[in-house]
Amino acid sequence: MNWSIIEFASARIVLDLAWFCLIVVLARNAVSVFQLIAAGWVFATRVKPGRSATELWQRYSDLALPVSVIAPAFNEELSIVQSVKALLALEYPHHEVIVVNDGSKDGTMATLIAAFDLEISDREQIAVLQKTAIRQTYHSRRIPNLFVIDKCNGRKADAVNAGIGFARTPLVCVIDADSIIEPDGLLRAAEPYMHDDGRLVAVGGTIRIANGCEIEGGAMRKIGVTSQWIPRFQIVEYLRAFLTARVANSSTNTLLLISGAFGMFRRSVLLEIGGYRHDTVGEDLEIIVRIHRYMREQGRSYAVQFVPDIVCWTEAPASLAGLKNQRARWQQGALETLSFHRGMIFNPRYGRIGMIGMPQLILEDVIGPPAELIGYLVVPAAILLGLLDPVIALAYLSLTVTFGTALSFGTLALEEVQLRRAPSARDLARIGSAAFFENFGFRQINLLYRCHGIRRFLKNDTAWAAVPRVGFSSAG
């Protein structure tokens, strides 16, 4: 056996892998730079200064389309009453709250019946989109705009579909039962529909981390930044995702994701496409991609928008176990969506979605995570073998650390100028420190978790990986 040939081939593979990883990281960072510049341009030229809730009410209360807020709930006995009261108290002229008890195994249903004086309803379901059986429906004797569905467990997508089937309003808002919309959130989400000619089909908003905030009665009392590092790292991630990536993608008509924690949809379109899919763990991404696909194939003019002034607060995983389940599920959901709609990729029939949006999803969720993770291994190996100049390795480190930190600080600047949800200089410093230190451990752990999601996808493992919650009252 000619060992020199084998050694040369091995060295060549290591070198080629190192350069491939460097190119992928460079491409991802180039996309991030474009998104930051595009988001800055949007904020500077398009986004008007945020109107107060009072001004929105005075301008649009007589124009607001009725909205059904659909809140799926599973084992929410301890918080369901506060959550429902908060949804009922949202500042909106005409909205109903549809709570869907998705086969809870605790006292969620009994708590709802007792707290809101529920009685059996004879309301008919207009469209049957769910796969599991409806046990019973209820309305409140005291609160006319509260409707409750009790059904067998079928996970979130099935619960939302049940709510869509019972809704009678032109707009539906899908929200997690344990999330908190700011009081004017519905008005801000509905405002684009008031100026619309029928093209607008979906609107998303900003999701913020509630860990470290003071929550009372299902409402935000005081905004804060947690002292725990894992949720604090996620604050930085969410800022980048929503104030940079979503704003930029919305401005270029390539928005593929509206968070499952909060989204407002034109109900008729959801009915046309058959509601949410039941066979994916990433239903929030899949339904937006499917809306794009359906509207393009129908040849209909449409729009999907992101409105940064809409703010919804949610609890982030505080432990590595919870983070692993969440990130693996997100990764698996992205791969499932790409598999379902692979015919759209680089297909000019689907316009910018097929030519830009879907390839970007491939870069971010198929090529990017394993390539960056492999880079941490093969780049040092290439240096030790004398195959790669240490200057190139330093460039790789700069791309993943210095460059990433600079992008995070740029996003923080947009946050401070536009939304100003960081209440103090100390809180900004806490977020800023997280933007730097996330590059040393947290980022790499996330890559491992995302690779775990790739493995789950390849094994066709559709079991739901739950994220442990500690609850808002103790989220710090």
The mean pLDDT of 10-35, rounded to a whole number, is 84
Kindly state whether residues 371 and 262 are assigned to the same domain: no
Judged against a pLDDT cut of 60, whether residue 256 lies above it is answered with: yes
Same domain, 425 and 284: no
Q: pTM for the whole thing?
A: 0.92
* Whether 259 contacts 284, CB under 8 Å: yes
Q: Which one has a higher pLDDT value, 426 or 105?
A: 105
Q: Which two tokens stand for residue 442?
A: 């947290």
More reliable by pLDDT, 254 or 390: 254
Nearest alpha carbon to residue 188 among 89, 55, 85: 55
Domain assignment of residue 471, yes or no? no
User: In Å, what is the CA distance from 413 to each residue of 36, 50, 235, 247?
Assistant: 11, 17, 14, 14
Q: Identify whether residues 322 and 354 lie together within a single domain.
A: no
Query: Which has more pLDDT, 53 or 186?
Result: 186
Instruction: Give the residue, 49 or 454, on which the prediction is more confident.
Output: 454
Higher pLDDT, 410 or 452: 452
Q: 85 pLDDT exceeds 50?
A: yes
Residues 265, 142 within the same domain: yes
Least confident span in 116-125, 167-176, 297-306, 388-397: 388-397
Residues 439-455 pLDDT 10s:
888 999 999 999 999 99
Q: What is the pLDDT of residue 63?
A: 74
Report the percent of the chain where pLDDT is more than 90: 55
Say what the pLDDT of residue 328 is. 94
Same domain (yes/no): 300, 440: no
Of 177, 3, 212, residue with least CA distance to 73? 177
Residue 278, in any domain of the structure: yes
Instruction: Check pLDDT > 50 for residue 475.
Output: no
Domain contains 2: no
325 and 201, same structural domain? yes
Please indicate whether residue 9 or residue 80 has the higher confidence score (pLDDT): 80
Same-domain status, 240 and 386: no
- Least confident range of 115-119, 216-220, 358-362: 216-220
Question: Do 311 and 264 have their domain in common?
Answer: yes
CATH of the domain at 310: 3.90.550.10
Task: Work out how many domains the chain is built from and give that number.
Answer: 2
Q: What is the Cα–Cα distance from 397 to 394, expressed in whole angstroms?
A: 5
> Which of 272, 299, 329 is the C-terminal boundary of a domain?
329
Cβ neighbour number for residue 458 with a 10 Å cutoff = 10
- Flag whether 345 is in a domain: no
| Contact by Cβ (8 Å): 282, 329 | yes
Q: Are residues 92 and 170 in the same domain?
A: yes
CA count, 13 A, side-chain hemisphere, 356? 12
Residue 343 lies in a domain: no
Same domain, 361 and 245: no
Q: Which of 6-20, 62-76, 381-395 has the highest mean pLDDT?
A: 62-76
pLDDT tens figures, 273-327: 999 999 999 999 999 999 999 999 999 999 999 998 888 999 899 999 999 999 9
- For residue 472, what pLDDT is reported? 58
| Angle, alpha carbons 362-365-371 (nearest 5°) | 95
Distance (Å, whole) CA 429 – CA 377: 32
What's the confidence (pLDDT) of residue 423?
Answer: 64
Is residue 337 domain-resident?
no
The answer to which of 193-202, 278-287, 331-340, 464-473 has the lowest mean pLDDT is 464-473
Extract long-range pairs of 419-428: CB within 8 Å, 24+ residues apart: 419/50, 419/206, 419/243, 419/308, 419/309, 419/311, 421/208, 421/223, 421/311, 422/223, 422/225, 423/222, 423/223, 423/224, 427/224, 427/225
What is the percentage of the chain residues whose pLDDT exceeds 70? 90
**Residue 416 in this model has a pLDDT that exceeds 80:** no
8 Å CB contact between 69 and 87: yes
Q: Lowest-pLDDT range, 2-16, 184-198, 293-307?
A: 2-16
Q: Which residue has the higher pLDDT, 318 or 47?
A: 318
* 338 within a domain of the structure (yes/no): no
**Do both 154 and 261 map to the same domain?**
yes
Q: How far apart are CA 233 and CA 240, in angstroms?
A: 11
Which of 329, 360, 392 terminates a domain? The answer is 329
pLDDT at 48: 58
Same domain, 21 and 138: no
**Last residue of one domain, picked from the residues 300, 329, 358:** 329
Domain housing 299:
51-329
